[in-house]
Amino acid sequence: MTDFSAITDQLAEQAIELPSWAFGNSGTRFRVFGQPGVPRDPFEKIADAAKVNELTGLAPKVALHIPWDKVDDYAALRQHAEGLGVALGTINSNTFQDDDYKFGSLAHFDERVRQKAIDHHFECIEIMGETGSQDLKIWLADGTNYPGQDDMRARQDRLADSLEQIYARIPDGKRLVLEYKFFEPSFYHTDVPDWGTSYAQVAALGDKAFVCLDTGHHAPGTNIEFIVMQLLRLGKLGSFDFNSRFYADDDLIVGAADPYQLFRILVEVLRGGGYGKDSGVAFMLDQGHNIERKIPGQIRSVLNVQEMLARALLLDREALTAAQQAGDVLAANDIMMDAFYRDVRPELAAWRESRGLPADPMRAFLESGYQEKVDAERVGGNQAGWGA
């Protein structure tokens, strides 16, 4: 059995971006449930994200969503974040909450609407410069609901042209990351429905364009770790949006539905060189805490990723390779299961304490009084939420 001390240097490299919007009110298409203490502006969102990082040491960046997180002074927002010990991360664009985008954005048939969407991304690139962000992430709701509604091939051509214009503005050292989703809100066809379409589009752009893999954006039964392997093999996996789902894009706490799947994904991440500060692959959460409290939900999420990463790091690769090459099916599977079932929680708790962190970050948060403090202070104003 691999000694836990052998993996601590690698564990220390783990960094997971938190999404600013996860700290706002969210819900389903039926209802958004409000909570006390929810941030009223991006500054308060960052304060909550910084509390997660303070207790876990795992979340040094906060991703922003534009226009949800627009402010008059991004330098001030950046200074605020850095003063709390975190940095501003990925800039996420939004072309799905404007009446003009009813029939699409970057793939729209109307040149005026398409230019409006392109200009929005130009604005996001400018914000990247002000915030120090490395990545511009694009997720599109573009697609159609009915056969014949639009020309699918023409939409791909328009999308390619739009992305090319945006990509031309990406500075050296920065990246464009294209996310995919197989359905919703477009149900007949989605313009970027799968990793292959995203890969085809970014491969045509150049070496500053990559694919974002959202773990909730696949049909049930999809072998997500195979996609991870393939994108790493092709050198085009740019980032993860970690969440969990039972059916579709549920945006639940990562690892909640299938922790073994999360383990398998991280095994392939490590196998393919997709982990660590020099890998170029960004880990991020993309979740909506609809009924649970926001900050504990984010703490639980990053701890789940840390735990499964530790198990994946402890996998006996040498023994696994030997079993594979011997054609010993059961031995190879046993080696995988032994690593997955290893309870690393006590060792992680002791390691956190050795680094000056709480052994149990969740308990530390509940005992800190932070939630009660913001519940009492954040009265009045407009709570942030999905779309605000």
In this predicted structure, the answer to whether residue 387 has a pLDDT above a threshold of 70 is no
pLDDT in tens, 186-231: 999 999 999 999 999 999 999 999 999 999 999 999 999 999 999 9
Query: How far apart are alpha carbons 85 and 87 in whole angstroms?
Result: 7
pLDDT at 375 over 80: yes
Model pTM? 0.97
Q: Residue 124: exposed, middle, or buried by beta-carbon count in 10 A (0-12, 13-18, 19+)?
A: buried
CA distance 254 to 214: 11
Q: What would the pLDDT profile of 51-88 be if each residue is shown by its tens digit?
A: 999 999 999 999 999 999 999 999 999 999 999 999 99
Q: What percent of the chain has pLDDT over 70?
A: 99
pLDDT at 31: 87
Strand, helix or coil at 27?
strand
151 — pLDDT class (breaks 50, 70, 90): very high
Of all residues in the chain, the percent with pLDDT exceeding 90 is 96
Angle at 185 between CA 180 and CA 188, to 5 degrees: 85
Could you tell me how many residues make up the chain?
A: 388
Q: Which helix (H) or strand (E) holds 227?
A: helix 224-234
How far, in Å, CA of 14 to CA of 301, rounded? 13
CA–CA distance, 86 with 63 (Å, rounded to integer)? 11
Residue 27: predicted pLDDT:
86
Q: Is the pLDDT of residue 277 over 90?
A: no
Instruction: Pick 14-377's CATH classification: 3.30.950.10, 3.20.20.150, 3.40.50.1970, 1.10.760.10.
Output: 3.20.20.150
Q: How confident is the model at residue 36 (pLDDT cuts 50, 70, 90)?
A: very high
Segment 81-112, tens digit of pLDDT: 999 999 999 999 999 999 999 999 999 999 99
Q: Where are the domains of the chain?
A: 14-377
CB 71 within 8 A of CB 81: no
Cβ contacts of 197-206, under 8 Å, gap ≥ 24: 199/231, 199/234, 199/236, 201/159, 201/160, 201/163, 202/163, 202/176, 202/178, 202/236, 203/234, 203/236, 204/160, 204/164, 205/163, 205/164, 205/167, 205/176, 206/167
**pLDDT tops 80 at residue 167:** yes
Q: In one letter, which amino acid is 41?
A: D
Name the pLDDT band for 1 (thresholds 50, 70, 90).
Answer: confident
Beta bridge partners of 210: 177
Contact partners, residue 276, CB within 8 Å, separation at least 6: 10, 13
Of 148, 162, 21, 164, the residue nearest 97 (C-alpha): 21
Q: For residue range 294-341, list pLDDT tens digits in order.
A: 999 999 999 999 999 999 999 999 999 999 999 999 999 999 999 999
CA distance 26 to 386: 5
Residue 115 has pLDDT above 70, yes or no: yes
Backbone angles phi and psi of 111, in degrees to 5: -60, -30
Measured between alpha carbons, how far is 351 from 287 in angstroms, rounded to an integer?
A: 27
